[in-house]
Structure 1
Amino acid sequence: MPDASQPLVTVRDLHIGAVTDSGRQVEIIKGVSFDIRPGEFVALIGESGSGKTTIALSLMGYCRPGCSIAGGTVTLDGRDVTAMSEADRAELRGTEVSYVPQSAAAAFNPSKRIMDQVVEITGIHRLMPRAEAEAKAVSLFRALALPQPETIGRRYPHQVSGGQLQRLAAAMALIGGPKLVIFDEPTTALDVTTQIEVLRAFKAVVQKGGVSGVYVSHDLAVVAQIADRIIVLKGGEIQEENTTPKILTEARHPYTRALLAAVDPVPHQPRSIAGLQPRPPILEAIDLHAGYGTFQNGEPAVKVLKNINFRLERGRNLGVIGESGSGKSTLARAVSGILPPYRGAVLLDGHELDGDLKERRKEDLRRMQIVFQLADTALNPAQTVGSILARPLKFYHGLRGAARDARVDALLDMVHLPAALKYRLPRELSGGQKQRVNLARALAAEPELILCDEITSALDTVVAAAILKLLEELQSELNLSYMFISHDLSTVEAICDDVLVMYKGEVVEELPAARMSAEAAHPYSKLLISSVPQIDPGWLDSLDQDPELLAAFSRR
């Protein structure tokens, strides 16, 4: 057992360098120092590029390709990790220190059973016989509140939910009996209801085992539930460090205060449309049904959307919330024509659209644009930003030459990006910059309606808050309407006038966004609302959700 009076981890004057694509040397971690005590949970928070994951990985003696430790020391239980050979570090990983990744799906081999992967480290390090390892795995599955702990290990990764797979990744990290576990944004991709269960399971199993933890995140509300101490990072440097209660109530650094403000965005103020000439809603769905797979008798093999009806008035914003699998993104695809509905109608400004995108008029395509969740996959990696924006300008407006170039500059300025970015490739931009380019491409068409499909879910809270502010500015300037798909209630409250709550392909409730938290009546809506983390260290421990609701709506 580590000496409780001595730090388990000591980081002193850590410097990490990197080589850019052009061969230039840059310093990404600039003299960071901190300690972690035995049994302590420390959070590293900050936006993308702040250095959180780079520092966390250095505790294992690991640097990403192109990076290297340029100075300083990292010691784990008295052993200098930075001075070890790679073979000694390999012996350390999985037994002294282990890692839970952001995407458990990417960490598991889809062709191997779960149990084989969870116990693999015990065989590599010859820690215990296979039968003993499997028994320990089952006890961890039970401690992590996984269903059917005795048999879940027989399944393959695709046969369990995302929340279950994330907890299985934690079991894989814990089975070797490490002193330190690094959790790298392990709940970022999860729905709020699933996130709560996963956080509870992580916290319980780590506390019971007396393990120290490092929790990498950009979300202070999540960190507040699990961390004893918070280290705030920006630009590879520590901005502030203190106990969790003091960071949450007495933050000194402006950047920490910005992080706190971004957790609880200002509620949306509805725009007044009184006195405007009555017009049909900008968007209307009537008895919409959609699904996937081979059609038989006019219906698809897998039916997703059922009897969807809504109206979006011009100049207003409609939010659509629900967990993964509720049908939110399928609704966006059906409305946009990417997935033609098999029944029902979509009307744009009173005009019924063809169900298939390929059959719609160019003018209909121009008026309704869609911005996708992942800018990385939505932007052509081989095209410069300028070329990406030039294409819709030519297609919709016939712009060429100097007029087109001037409009590209204007679009970049519209989304608060410098004109010089038009010469860069998407990989040379940050996540927030890429999403702004994604938005600028939609604006190039000069639309009246933009479908936003989870466009802030992959972004840090500060960057996401800036995107929401930008959307409001653009709406005011360009008289836009938005349909905003999200699983984050606070995001929807910050941008939308009205909210549809979806569950299993159906709308179970519709309310004004401003009254959502207070007046939601459907049990599923109440469960979603109660699962949004609060900036209160005691919130998770005091959360008392109806077990019947959890059982009824659980997909975990």
Structure 2
Amino acid sequence: MKSKNSGQREKGTKLLSVRNLHVEGFSDERWHPIVRGVDLSLKRGEVLGLIGESGAGKSTIGLAAMGYAKPGCRITQGSILFDGIDLLAMAETARRRLRGSRIAYVAQSAAASFNPAHRLLDQTVETVVAHGIASREAANRDAMKLYRRLHLPDPDTIGFRYPHQVSGGQLQRAMTAMAMACRPDLIVFDEPTTALDVTTQVEVLASIRKIVEEFNTAAIYVTHDLAVVAQMANRIMVLRHGRTVEEAETRQMLAAPAEDYTRTLWAVRKLAKPEVPAADHLLTIDNITAAYAGKVKVLQDVSIKVPRGRTVAVVGESGSGKSTLARVITGLLPPVSGSISFAGHRLPRTLKERPKDILRRIQMIYQMPDNALNPRQTVEEVISRPLEFYLGLKGAACDRRVGELMHMIEMDENFLDRLPGELSGGQKQRICIARALAANPELIICDEVTSALDQIVQEEILKLLMRLQQEFGVSYIFITHDIATVRAIADEVVVMHQGKVVEQGLKTEILTPPHAPYTELLLSSVPEMDPDWLTKLLETRERKRVGAAN
């Protein structure tokens, strides 16, 4: 399917020019600068990577390139020319006609962006039909082709599901298909692979890159993952505190960054955790089988032990059952069979049957902070609630503890009166961590808790979690697709695939060759800081596929 403008595209011609961009956000009853005088330009068929710490202004700049500012923000200065059109001078109705058809956006949190009351296919084709680009029937057929190219399971039928009926990674790919449906001139990708496991990420990155090249689509790629931006971007712009630190061609930037701050980003390395023999087991999972609505089994005979004061990392691709396992442990999804024991006592199957003290001792930090935080509650209200509910703290004692928790997650107390919508993705996740810590738990289930954070902040959060473990003996189940994080924080590793445990054991055993075939696939899919890594990997896998076929 072609967009209305596809015949006018010529690779290398200028498409976007942003000059002296200033954006402010409103909090503490006044306006604060978020973006301070940023310039950028983009040609057709070119990908510009925006990197920097959480709060650097990456997402704000990406949205501003569409002539849009989030509620509570405003563009105060500068010019934004898209294909010669002054976006800021246009009426809002005219800008809306451009968005979706010629300018598209892939958000960081797909779960917060889809309408839960409508099927995926209806939402994917809505803009195509509304802009008169294709009939409903043709749009449906093209959407299924996009689903297939983005390696979604059952591409001919998955569109008939609702958002809650697919995994986070699958939903993120569906949103990418929705953005690509109109074949726009410009796509803003805001952390599009954050929710994806490494094996799926490889396929999605390859699909995005191929479609961008095929249609000469320009793209702004917002990410905190340096290895990913190395595969996707022609140029990289480094941002900090709303200002440009430096900008250069990708290979030049990777080989010889000019600024100290950029060199600091490049030098970030994950921590090394010493291996300690396991103590007694806090949590024992015996032969758990679980299914949704009593239908297809999502977990099959899963058995795992979590030592007291240790970290068990659970890895596997999207749909392997990692998050479902977390829901079973917390009582949100009663198992079909099997049992779970906590501190030597068998846990009731459902959340409602469990006493308050058990609820306090087992906490969970969710993958998507946009869904986990009440948008109408301030940061102070979010953190205060578990202090009051579980520990009975009120007044000055509660206020003091809130301040201590904010200090632990390295956020200033000036954030306490802000709403989640006024925070960056990384800041929201820190608040979720503080809320879990507020209950003084013995076990915390961390479901992709660092996936939304830049690499500098990831390191700080991991240091924090490890320090808390050393000081208080808290145990972690760390659900993640980031193998570097596994190496940093895990004592033991559980590899899951299609609802079953493929292998488990000490970190050194699982991550040291020779690997089980599926574990080898996971480890080989971890991006490297080499712009040719993705190309080489795809070529290697294609050779193996052809060899196996012959």
Structure 2 vs 1, CA of residues 318 and 113 (structure 1 numbering), >3 Å: closer, same or farther? closer
Q: 2:270 — aligned with what?
A: 265
Distance in 2, matches of 1:388 and 1:478, equals 23
Deviation at 1:542, TM superposition (A): 0.4
Q: 2:34 — aligned with what?
A: 28
Matches within 5 A, 1:412-427: 412-418=406-412, 426-427=420-421
Q: 2:5 — aligned with what?
A: none
Alignment of 1:309 onto 2:314? no
* Cα-to-partner distance string for 1:25-63 (whole Å, 9 max, x where unaligned): 333221111322343221122344322233233333333
Aligned partner of residue 455 in structure 1, secondary structure = coil
Q: 1:169 — aligned with what?
A: 178
Answer yes or no: is the 8 Å Cα contact 1:450–1:482 preserved in 2: yes
Larger Rg: 1
Distance in 2, matches of 1:154 and 1:415, equals 39
Q: Pick the aligned partner of 2:314 from 308, 311, 320.
A: 320
* Cα-to-partner distance string for 1:257-283 (whole Å, 9 max, x where unaligned): 344345x5234333467xxxxx63222
5+ residue gaps, structure 2, are: 1-7
Q: Pick the aligned partner of 1:343 from 337, 340, 351.
A: 337
Aligned partner of residue 543 in structure 1, secondary structure = helix
Deviation at 1:401, TM superposition (A): 5.0
Distance in 1, matches of 2:70 and 2:388, equals 41
Aligned partner of residue 524 in structure 1, secondary structure = helix
Aligned partner of residue 8 in structure 1, secondary structure = strand
Answer yes or no: is the 8 Å Cα contact 2:316–2:495 preserved in 1: yes
Distance in 2, matches of 1:310 and 1:366, equals 22
Alignment of 1:510 onto 2:504? yes
Aligned partner of residue 349 in structure 2, secondary structure = coil
Structure 2 vs 1, CA of residues 550 and 306 (structure 1 numbering), >3 Å: closer, same or farther? farther
Distance in 1, matches of 2:439 and 2:36, equals 43
* Cα-to-partner distance string for 1:278-331 (whole Å, 9 max, x where unaligned): x632222222223332xxxxxx44432222222222232101112232111222
Deviation at 1:86, TM superposition (A): 4.6
Structure 2 vs 1, CA of residues 345 and 46 (structure 1 numbering), >3 Å: closer, same or farther? same
Distance in 1, matches of 2:315 and 2:84, equals 49
Q: Pick the aligned partner of 2:365 from 356, 371, 384.
A: 371
Distance in 2, matches of 1:130 and 1:345, equals 52
Matches within 5 A, 1:132-531: 137=142, 141=146, 144=149, 152=156, 155-156=159-160, 158=162, 161-162=170-171, 165-174=174-183, 178-262=184-268, 264-271=269-276, 280-293=280-293, 300-380=294-374, 385-399=379-393, 402-418=396-412, 426-427=420-421, 429-519=423-513, 521-531=515-525
Deviation at 1:540, TM superposition (A): 0.6
Distance in 2, matches of 1:549 and 1:157, equals 34
| The 10-residue stretch of structure 1 (466-475 or 376-385) with the greater mean CA deviation from structure 2 | 376-385
Distance in 1, matches of 2:67 and 2:427, equals 31
Answer yes or no: is the 8 Å Cα contact 1:292–1:303 preserved in 2: yes
Distance in 1, matches of 2:354 and 2:115, equals 42
| The 10-residue stretch of structure 1 (251-260 or 139-148) with the greater mean CA deviation from structure 2 | 139-148
Q: 1:9 — aligned with what?
A: 16
Aligned partner of residue 487 in structure 1, secondary structure = coil
* Cα-to-partner distance string for 1:400-432 (whole Å, 9 max, x where unaligned): 555444444434434434456555555555444
Amino acid at match of 2:20: D
* Cα-to-partner distance string for 1:197-241 (whole Å, 9 max, x where unaligned): 121122122223333322222222111111110011222211111
Answer yes or no: is the 8 Å Cα contact 2:120–2:174 preserved in 1: no
Distance in 2, matches of 1:385 and 1:93, equals 32
Answer yes or no: is the 8 Å Cα contact 2:54–2:426 preserved in 1: no
Q: 2:43 — aligned with what?
A: 37
Percent of pairs with identical residues: 43
Q: 1:554 — aligned with what?
A: none
Amino acid at match of 1:481: S
* Cα-to-partner distance string for 1:162-208 (whole Å, 9 max, x where unaligned): 3652452243141xxx5433333322222222221121122122223
Q: 1:297 — aligned with what?
A: none
Distance in 2, matches of 1:116 and 1:347, equals 42
- RMSD of Structure 2 on Structure 1 (CA): 3.9
Q: TM-score, normalised by structure 2?
A: 0.82
Aligned partner of residue 69 in structure 2, secondary structure = coil
